[in-house]
Amino acid sequence: MPSIIEPKLISGNANLPLATSIARRMSMHRGMNIGLVDARVERFNDQEIFVEVYENVRGEDMFIIQPTSNPANDNLMELLIMSDALRRSSAARITAVIPYFGYARQDRRSKARTPISAKLVANMIVESGIERVLTMDLHAAQIQGFFDIPVDNLYASPIFALDILHQFKDQLGDVMVVSPDVGGVARARELAKRINAPLAIVDKRREKPGEIAEMTVIGDVSGKKCIIVDDICDTAGTLCKAAEVLMEHGATEVHSYITHGVLSGPAVERITNSVMKSLVVTDSIHAPEPVKSAPNIRIVPTAPMFAQAILNIWNGTSVSSLFETETLTPIYEGMYYA
């Protein structure tokens, strides 16, 4: 057991509601109040970021909760500067809790003379003094290897499985999990195994970036309630088109479960007007008002999982135990899926 009395949480501006929810859940687990460390993270007139921590953090086990979502550069700089402030204040250990890891889609050189920005961001995080990263559903698993520090990558599929088993409890025989592309088959297969459902694939071919030339359904989806599963939904063009193609192939309903709802540009309007019956996203990215008020978008919480993962890291116990639905069921019991 560490000599540190309690873990301490600090949050940037990227997703303060999630940070507050995590602190509340940890307080319930510990039986004492665990609040966010009092600090200010603000900008000068020229948009320089300034951080000041008002509490003593010397020798403390610090957890910075900060997804690097839109605006990605501002939120990334907040994370780096908060880490520097804590390191210079003699914090014993600094863990970055990054529910959504921005720049993850730039994980390889897709063509000549392009960067691998995910590796650059990983280098910056390590150099800032962060000693461990806790994240969820990295776009590519190999990004963990970009860091020279431990990286714990949680998965949303156990949360999604609990939600699906609740929402479709009398219709599980009609459910089919669908991967929206060949690259996401492993993720879709994982969820399909958890709910004991068959798997189909939508194969898409692009003429150029941002345009989808052709979509083919691999598998028989006729008469099925299709659940599309993916890690990121940005402009929702591919997702809405995939839903249309599935309905054309005989699906009775199409639902989507997406970990990170980036939902930029026309995404909300597209989803609202699409044939999709529902889109479920996690709160890894703070949802603006248009997303919250969209009639067919629903948000499921990640705070119980992150709270338990932070406590496990602090205690020096297993984080991978949270990969199992059986472990998460009591954590979520009575909250959303009773």
The verdict on whether residue 105 carries a ligand-binding annotation is: yes
The verdict on whether residue 106 carries a ligand-binding annotation is: yes
The verdict on whether residue 219 carries a ligand-binding annotation is: no
The verdict on whether residue 249 carries a ligand-binding annotation is: no
The verdict on whether residue 206 carries a ligand-binding annotation is: yes
Tracing tokens 């989806």 back to the chain, one arrives at 221
Is 204 known to be catalytic? yes
Report residue 177: phi and psi, to 5°.
Answer: -85, 140
Burial of 160: CB neighbours in 10 Å, binned 0-12, 13-18, 19+: buried
94-115 core/surface letters (b: 16 or more CB in 10 A; e: else): bbbbbbbbbbbbbbeeeeeeee
CA angle 157, 132, 71 (to 5 degrees): 70
Distances (CA, A) of 287 to 74, 106, 153, 266: 17, 23, 22, 15
The verdict on whether residue 170 carries a ligand-binding annotation is: no
The verdict on whether residue 48 carries a ligand-binding annotation is: yes
**Torsion angle of the four alpha carbons 154, 155, 160, 163, in this order, in degrees rounded to the nearest 10:** -30
The verdict on whether residue 47 carries a ligand-binding annotation is: yes
- E strand or H helix that includes residue 203: strand 199-205
Catalytic residue among 119, 204, 241, 277: 204
The answer to whether the beta carbons of residues 40 and 51 sit under 8 Å apart is yes
The whole-angstrom separation of Cα 315 and Cα 6 is: 10
The verdict on whether residue 181 carries a ligand-binding annotation is: yes
| Kind of pairing between the strands at 214-218 and 199-205 | antiparallel
User: CB atoms < 10 A from the CB of 121, how many?
Assistant: 24
The verdict on whether residue 235 carries a ligand-binding annotation is: yes
The whole-angstrom separation of Cα 196 and Cα 189 is: 10
DSSP string, 262-310: ---TTHHHHHHHSS-SEEEEETTSPPPHHHHH-TTEEEE--HHHHHHHH
Q: Looking at the annotation, which residues are catalytic?
A: 204
* Numbered residues of the known binding site for ATP: 46-48, 105-106
Annotation: binding site for Mg(2+): 139, 181
Binding residue ranges for D-ribose 5-phosphate: 206, 230, 234-238
Provide the annotated binding site.
46-48, 105-106, 139, 181, 206, 230, 234-238
